[in-house]
A = this chain, B = another copy of it.
Amino acid sequence: MELSVKTFDLEAGKRFTVIINEKDMLKERIRPGDRVSVSGPLDTLTAFVNSTEKIVKEGEIGLFEEVSEKTGLKNKSIGKVEYSPPPNSVHSIRKKMNGGKLSNEQIYEIVRDIVEQNLSEAEIAAFLVAQQTIGMEMDEVESLTRAMADSGKKADYKKTTFTKHSIGGVPGDSKVSLINIPIVAAGGIFIPKTSSRAITSPSGTSDTMEVFAEVDFSIDEIKDIATKCGAALVWGGSLNMAPADDLLIRVERPLKLDPLSQMLASIMSKQVANSVDFMLLDVPVGIGAKVETEKEGKKIAAKFSELAERLGISFKAVLTYGGQPVGHAVGPALEAIETLMVLNNKGPPSVTEKAIALSGIMFEMAGLASSGQGDAIAKDILTSGRALTKFQEIVELQGGDPKVKPSDIQVGEKKFDILSKGDGYVTAVSNERICKIAHLAGAPKDKGAGIYLHKKVGHNAKKGEPIFTIYSESGKKLDDAIKFALKYAPYQIEGMIIEEI
């Protein structure tokens, strides 16, 4: 059909949409959500259709800036509009929904259409739900990983490249990388580490690092930093590596969809794009962590291991204790302070031990330590201050102040101590509730917000003793956090005798 163009002075993004009056839609048997081809003097393109009663009249088509520009259809010109069938990738998604196995080409096509925004969110959702309910074979996961990596930018450092990745879910864990990466870099491992910002957790590694320095760099800048000091601690979010991921997350997040196949592909595609040769995967296991049982942790680790082998990445996974927060500090500024304490050999043993253990394994993977000797090397680097020096080097190269002291880091001015209601031992600290309280207090958005845990599992607590302190930058947020903490205690404190009979 031919329609008169009405342009809207608005950029509507890469997923093209046009607006057609519902009477024309009915006449042409086009449904909202269908695709049409729109032809103008410059080009023909495919767009999704929205129907309207009013925005455009019968005989008109509403075009946003991009479509108007690309087709060359100006206001009041005449555009040719025809129904256009869904692309092949939609057939492949349907095949997966019906239990079929997708070929390498089909998966590349799906990923390309996701990145080029040729698929609607409903179609992307169908792909994700089919992954969750039907599942994918490892061949398919490998294709998905490679397709995602190939769809974006890549970094090649021309050096044997390491990474350590935690699948996350445990508050306080973000700081471990800020200790572990300087240790291994000081020991000669090349590790340009990209990490994420937290969405629901109290702090991501990038959030904590940002307390010290910049984290938003281009690939070339990261290369430069890493070439100079052997490491980087940067945000991976703006690098356009594996760009399909953002478009998938947009659909996954409201539905809390996280099919294992997609998690494998998301994490590993970024390693492929970052030319990683060696990878250590940290799988925290415990109630309230992403992985709740050892059995599940082993299953996931085995899948990652199989995929890494197919991708030519030397791989090791460790299950770590994730039953309570890591260390005492939760939230960007508080974790930054704890990072400096550990690097100055004044930190809590649990964080120190975790960082040393991960580093030791990496030295052994790299052949820089013989089996069982990695820990000693890592410990020596930490205690000798060489890890601190390396960290300061990274901070300086990323535009921060290398001489920053714990007392220079500002935490939230509003704070509140939660006291023990009785005498006893801490038998549990809830990851979820600690996250929620830190989140209510303002973390990770407000860098100074968070929680300091005075007591951890196994510690003795006396009635009236502070068990944790909530920090916030806002009185209102502090109140919300306190209210929640008093209603849903994140601690269990019990006497040694649980019940007398």
- Which A positions have Cβ atoms within 8 angstroms of B? 8, 10-11, 13, 26-29, 31-35, 50, 52, 54-55, 86, 90, 93-94, 97, 120-126, 128-130, 132-134, 197-200, 249-251, 253-257, 444-445
Contacts and interface: CB of A to CB of B under 8 A. Distances in A.
9 contacts: A11-B55, A26-B197, A29-B198, A29-B444, A90-B254, A90-B255, A122-B251, A123-B255, A129-B129
A97 B133 contact: yes
Contacts of A34: 253-254
Nearest to A119: B254
A31 B126 contact: no
Contacts of A35: 254
Contact of A250 (B28, B33, B133): B33
Nearest to A251: B122
A126 B123 contact: no
Contacts of A28: 445
Contacts of A200: 29
A97 B50 CA distance: 28
Given A29-B200, A94-B257, 9 more contacts: A11-B55, A29-B199, A33-B250, A33-B251, A86-B254, A122-B255, A129-B129, A129-B130, A130-B133
A309 to B, nearest CB: 30
A190 to B, nearest CB: 29
A250 to B, nearest CB: 4
B129 A133 contact: yes
Contact of A120 (B121, B123, B199): B121
A118 to B, nearest CB: 11
Contacts of A198: 29
Contacts of A31: 199, 249-250, 253
Contact of A13 (B26, B50, B125, B251): B50
A86 B251 CA distance: 12
Nearest to A444: B29
Nearest to A439: B29
A11 B132 CA distance: 36
A38 to B, nearest CB: 17
A175 B162 CA distance: 70
A54 B123 contact: no
A331 to B, nearest CB: 13
Contacts of A197: 26, 29
A23 to B, nearest CB: 11
Nearest to A129: B129
Nearest to A87: B254
B256 A94 contact: yes
A44 to B, nearest CB: 17
A135 to B, nearest CB: 10
B29 A445 contact: yes
A121 B33 CA distance: 10
A254 B97 CA distance: 14
B257 A126 contact: yes
A94 B11 CA distance: 33
B13 A10 contact: no
Contact of A93 (B94, B121, B255, B445): B255
Given A31-B249, A133-B97, A255 B126 contact: yes
B250 A97 contact: no
A254 B10 CA distance: 26
